[in-house]
Chains A and B, each alone.
Chain A
Amino acid sequence: MLDTARIYRKADITPVRHVGNLLDRIRKSSLNAFVSVNGPGALEQAELSGKAIEQGREDLLLGIPLAVKDNICTRGINTTCSSEILKDFVPTYDAHVVERLKARGAVIIGKTNLDEFAMGSTTNTSNIGPTKNPWDQTKTPGGSSGGSAAAVAAGLCSGALGSDTGGSVRQPASFCGITGLKPTYGTVSRYGLVAFASSLDQIGPMARSARDTAVLFDAVKGHDGRDSTSVPQEYDATSLDGIDLKGLRLGVPDIFFSEGLAHDVERSVRYAVSVFQELGAVIVPVDLPRIRYGVAVYYLIAPAEASSNLARYDGVRYGVRHGGEKDLFEMYCETRAKGFGREVKRRIMLGTYALSAGYYDAYYRKASQVRTLIIEDFRKAFEVCDIIAGPTVPVTAWGLNDMVDDPLSIYLLDIYTIPANLAGIPALSIPCGFGDNGMPIGLQLMAPAFMDHIILGAAITFQDHTKFHEVRP
């Protein structure tokens, strides 16, 4: 992104040429990373931004081609959530983040693939089929923001927006060898993000480097009156110089290195930790005793909220309608039976059950209480450390067809990413090595709420001393 901005100004290539080339590559790509491509719109914006650059405007985002996950609303461009039920839905409004990017002269090059309504870790549940991992097209790019991660890794765009409810930015970033940030809850407006689980959802930037990620984060963060959970606060720009790691207290909890962690992932993450140590960080032991309940808590709260959030797709006002010639009840049933895929239906049923009379206290309320305990764990941990480090995912990307009938095994692999969503704290994934199969491995950094700039700064410093993020598929 920063490279592209420099090249534009050296007049090596104009935005129109660059965007045109990318559009060609996207069309020829076999990755299935995009749900739709914004050809004419992208070129039009590239033209305008090119002129602005010629006139000497400095904005780094001018003409920068960005991809947007297809659950983020774009005015006049289909926003499908990779679901049959919204396959023809065209919003009349831009998400807050899209408004912000457009205002800066960035180019929205297309909408990227995801697991249906962001429910999944592979993009397998997309109605257009899975995206492939650019490092090995027989492997999954991860999910749910798999399309965005693959597009960035394959160089089909300079950066992308994803959304992260339980790891959906960080896990595919890890699988595709890029950097992805799940910001502090409330930092980036959710206005225009199609809700999956409102108390956990956060839009996050994805790019090849932590610097690019920081630039994109700064572009989209900030208060928005249309989202009541957007924190009314002024933010400073994130420093792109990195931070001095000398004396930084790096918490490395044992629980992140327990059973189920693949040995090659452990090796790379331990190596990354040693890099931090070499750069002056002090390793401190921290204990997060209750995050072992994270997956269980998440799979009650997220489906519960989802079951309600997805009620609006009823065939009445927009989207697909089936059985409209029959009675109302039949229309609801057929529309939702045909419009939603299996995983979405599974989660709607789970969530409906968790909220039902007689079960609410045992499931939803209990889960909310445990969530509070997990928040408390992090609060205590951050009394003794500045950043918590660990693996992003216990394994590297798996085969496209692996575990398709075993959702529970896939759910359990969210173990490291889920706690940050439950606690609302910032977390990012940066490349820190490669597995025995040559697939990228991600290091996860977490910090207290509103310390996004600290983990971005640490990641920038890390990347200034390592080359993992520069390796291309």
Chain B
Amino acid sequence: MRDYETVIGLEVHAQLLTNAKIFCSCSAAFGLNPNTNTCPVCLGMPGVLPVLNGKIVDFGIRLGLALGCTIEKRNVFARKNYFYPDLPKGYQITQYENPLCTDGRLDIEVNGATKRIGIRRIHMEEDAGKSVHDESEPYSSIDFNRAGVPLLEIVTEPDLSSTQEAVSYLRELRRILMYLDICDGSMEEGSLRCDANLSVKEKGSGRLGTRTELKNMNSFKNVQKALEYEVERQTRLIESGSAVEQETLLWNALLGKTQSMRSKEESHDYRYFPDPDLIPVIVDDAWVERIADTLPELPAAKRRRFIEQYGLPAYDADQLTQTRALADYFEQCVSLYGTPKEVSNWIMTEVIRVLNEKNRDITELPVTPPMLVELLGLLKKGTVSGLMAKEVFTEMADTGRNAPAIIKSSGLEQVSDEDALAVLIKDVMAAHPKETAQYRAGKTQLLGFFVGEVMKASKGKANPKVAGNMIKEMLET
């Protein structure tokens, strides 16, 4: 068998978190009743006209700067003409020649090495409505709430050479979009959508293979599966001496395979031309500078800083910088408590566990950094055991109460008081004369037995460390 290389380019559509749609004042919110968020403009009624929401340009510049792009000074919107029932005007307003951002890059980590992925272009456009096909009905329905929701389309160079790279590019891009507060990054709700162009060629060959375009991969898992499937399918075709056909494929997640949507012959001629209803948007240096001033620290920079400033392992840094809010949470805890690694461990295990269980965001967690730090303090002092601290934390997350209150009311406080422990130990010794004698005769491995009995007698509240030391002392004297 020969060796093959995969060549992948991704086109990502990110729905923007603006209040209004791109060309009218309708809300861009997701999940409302069908066709309630519409007006004559986004329904494409006769005689109405689009007016650009300038916020979209702000968002586009934000992303462009974050990805090191050149920002286009004179932005022209174009019409992409095709017929589809959920496309109200019979054309989509998008950018064609001179997109807002060009020539950028995004660095991804693959197997510990950094790889630079070229960003060919980022442009602004409007989303279409949504067709709903109910197999049991002889008709389809259309929801136009999404028609006119603003999108940025982010197109890479064909620099990705494996499924793994494609997925890490997508993760990193998603993280950046969320850091910039311009997209909520939900692939399930469709606010982040990914199409891929993929071809396979013989290793070292200068000639690219025939590419196929993949659509409808609406989760990270599906992106990975679809790309893997397609790499394998194309490789098999080439191995068997058949030709790969240039076509658009839909990923069918249920069947776990790609299916042909349209061939090259059936591909549209979109007849792009400048939209005469919109005037060019002139982005001057002042505009770009104004946006540059508001850029937050980006994920890669934050990761580097966490490693350097807090001495964290790369894994921790990556986990803690998943979102800006989580990273902020970590930093607030460390500023109150110190010992970054200890805080990191807690966040990576307990905090993230609770968030995943409840499918919540860190911003929705009722345990504030001072509250978490208070709990860590009690743990360090020995007021609670490690095991108990986890229980206490779970309850804090459920109820929003602070650690001392929970410990007090549930009696989870450790007994470290020596007088109280001495009474318990004496009772245990009295109840187990045989074992006491054996220990004193040199069978010191029985210490664990005594600690266990004391813990039992204290209903788990005894501080095992303190109790252990006292038992040893009392048995040996």
Taken together as a complex, chains A and B put the C-alpha atoms of A197 and B278 apart, in Å, by 13
Residue pair B83, A199 in contact (C-beta under 8 Å): no
Q: Which of B43, B47, B271 contacts A191 (CB 8 A)?
A: B47
Q: Which of B44, B46, B273 contacts A89 (CB 8 A)?
A: B46
B88 interface residue (CB < 8 Å to A): yes
Interface size class of A (residues with CB under 8 A): 35 or more
Interface residues contributed by chain B, number (CB under 8 Å): 28
Known contacts A304-B273, A311-B81: A228-B49 contact under CB 8 Å: yes
Min CB–CB distance A144 → chain B (angstroms): 16
CB 8 Å contact bits of B114-143 with A (1 = contact, 0 = none): 000000000000000000000000000010
CB 8 Å contact bits of B43-63 with A (1 = contact, 0 = none): 111111111100000000000
Residue pair B91, A311 in contact (C-beta under 8 Å): yes
Complex interface: chain A residues within 8 A of B89 (CB): 311-312
Min CB–CB distance A201 → chain B (angstroms): 9
Residue pair A355, B51 in contact (C-beta under 8 Å): no
Q: Which of A81, A316, A357 contacts B269 (CB 8 A)?
A: A357
Residue pair A356, B269 in contact (C-beta under 8 Å): yes
Residue pair B45, A91 in contact (C-beta under 8 Å): yes
Residue pair A308, B269 in contact (C-beta under 8 Å): no
A342 interface residue (CB < 8 Å to B): no
Q: Which residue of B lies closest to A353 (CB)?
A: B271
Residue pair B46, A194 in contact (C-beta under 8 Å): yes
Complex interface: chain B residues within 8 A of A318 (CB): 45
Min CB–CB distance B216 → chain A (angstroms): 19
Q: Which residue of B lies closest to A201 (CB)?
A: B276
B window 62-101: CB within 8 A of A: 79, 81, 83, 85, 88-91
Min CB–CB distance A196 → chain B (angstroms): 11
Min CB–CB distance A330 → chain B (angstroms): 12
CB 8 Å contact bits of A302-314 with B (1 = contact, 0 = none): 0011011011111
Residue pair A198, B276 in contact (C-beta under 8 Å): yes
Q: Which of B47, B85, B273, B278 lies at the interface centre, i.e. has the most chain A CB atoms within 10 A of its CB?
A: B47
A window 84-130: CB within 8 A of B: 86, 89, 91-93, 95
Q: Which residue of B lies closest to A310 (CB)?
A: B90
Taken together as a complex, chains A and B put the C-alpha atoms of A195 and B85 apart, in Å, by 20
Taken together as a complex, chains A and B put the C-alpha atoms of A155 and B144 apart, in Å, by 45
Min CB–CB distance A209 → chain B (angstroms): 29
Taken together as a complex, chains A and B put the C-alpha atoms of A328 and B43 apart, in Å, by 19
Min CB–CB distance B47 → chain A (angstroms): 5
Residue pair A317, B271 in contact (C-beta under 8 Å): no
Known contacts A89-B46, A312-B46, A364-B273: A226-B51 contact under CB 8 Å: yes
Known contacts A308-B91, A311-B83, A316-B85: A73-B43 contact under CB 8 Å: no
Taken together as a complex, chains A and B put the C-alpha atoms of A316 and B128 apart, in Å, by 14
Residue pair B47, A194 in contact (C-beta under 8 Å): yes
Known contacts A328-B85, A360-B273: A195-B47 contact under CB 8 Å: yes
> How many residue pairs between the two chains, A and B, have CB atoms under 8 Å in the bound complex?
100
B window 271-310: CB within 8 A of A: 271-273, 276-279
Q: Which residue of B lies closest to A324 (CB)?
A: B139
Known contacts A91-B45, A192-B48: A308-B278 contact under CB 8 Å: no
Residue pair B48, A191 in contact (C-beta under 8 Å): yes
Residue pair B83, A332 in contact (C-beta under 8 Å): yes
Residue pair A93, B48 in contact (C-beta under 8 Å): yes
Q: Which of B90, B91, B142, B272 lies at the interface centre, i.e. has the most chain A CB atoms within 10 A of its CB?
A: B90
Taken together as a complex, chains A and B put the C-alpha atoms of A318 and B88 apart, in Å, by 11
Known contacts A308-B90, A316-B85, A355-B81: A193-B273 contact under CB 8 Å: no
Complex interface: chain B residues within 8 A of A79 (CB): 46-47
Complex interface: chain A residues within 8 A of B366 (CB): none
Min CB–CB distance B278 → chain A (angstroms): 5
Taken together as a complex, chains A and B put the C-alpha atoms of A305 and B90 apart, in Å, by 12
A396 interface residue (CB < 8 Å to B): no
B256 interface residue (CB < 8 Å to A): no
Complex interface: chain B residues within 8 A of A92 (CB): 40, 45
Taken together as a complex, chains A and B put the C-alpha atoms of A89 and B269 apart, in Å, by 30
Residue pair A192, B47 in contact (C-beta under 8 Å): yes
Q: Which residue of B lies closest to A355 (CB)?
A: B271
Q: Which of A91, A197, A357, A360 contacts B47 (CB 8 A)?
A: A91
Complex interface: chain A residues within 8 A of B271 (CB): 307-308, 352, 355-357, 360
Q: Which residue of A lies closest to B274 (CB)?
A: A368
Complex interface: chain B residues within 8 A of A364 (CB): 273
Taken together as a complex, chains A and B put the C-alpha atoms of A227 and B50 apart, in Å, by 7
Q: Which of B47, B51, B52, B90 contacts A193 (CB 8 A)?
A: B47
Complex interface: chain B residues within 8 A of A191 (CB): 47-49
Taken together as a complex, chains A and B put the C-alpha atoms of A305 and B276 apart, in Å, by 8
The 3 closest A-B CB pairs, nearest first, are A311-B90, A199-B276, A355-B271
The chain B residues found within 8 Å of chain A, CB to CB, are: 40, 43-52, 79, 81, 83, 85, 88-91, 142, 269, 271-273, 276-279
Other CB < 8 Å A-B pairs besides A92-B45, A93-B48, A190-B49, 17 of them?
A: A73-B46, A73-B47, A86-B46, A91-B46, A92-B40, A194-B47, A227-B51, A228-B51, A229-B276, A229-B277, A307-B81, A307-B271, A311-B81, A311-B89, A314-B85, A356-B269, A357-B269
Jot down 30 A-B pairs with beta carbons below 8 A, ordered by A.
A71-B47, A73-B47, A81-B46, A86-B46, A92-B45, A190-B47, A190-B49, A191-B47, A193-B47, A194-B47, A195-B47, A197-B276, A198-B277, A199-B276, A228-B51, A229-B277, A304-B273, A305-B273, A305-B276, A308-B81, A311-B91, A312-B89, A313-B46, A314-B83, A314-B85, A316-B85, A317-B45, A332-B83, A355-B81, A360-B271
The chain A residues found within 8 Å of chain B, CB to CB, are: 71-73, 79, 81, 86, 89, 91-93, 95, 190-195, 197-199, 225-229, 304-305, 307-308, 310-314, 316-318, 328, 332, 352, 355-357, 360, 364
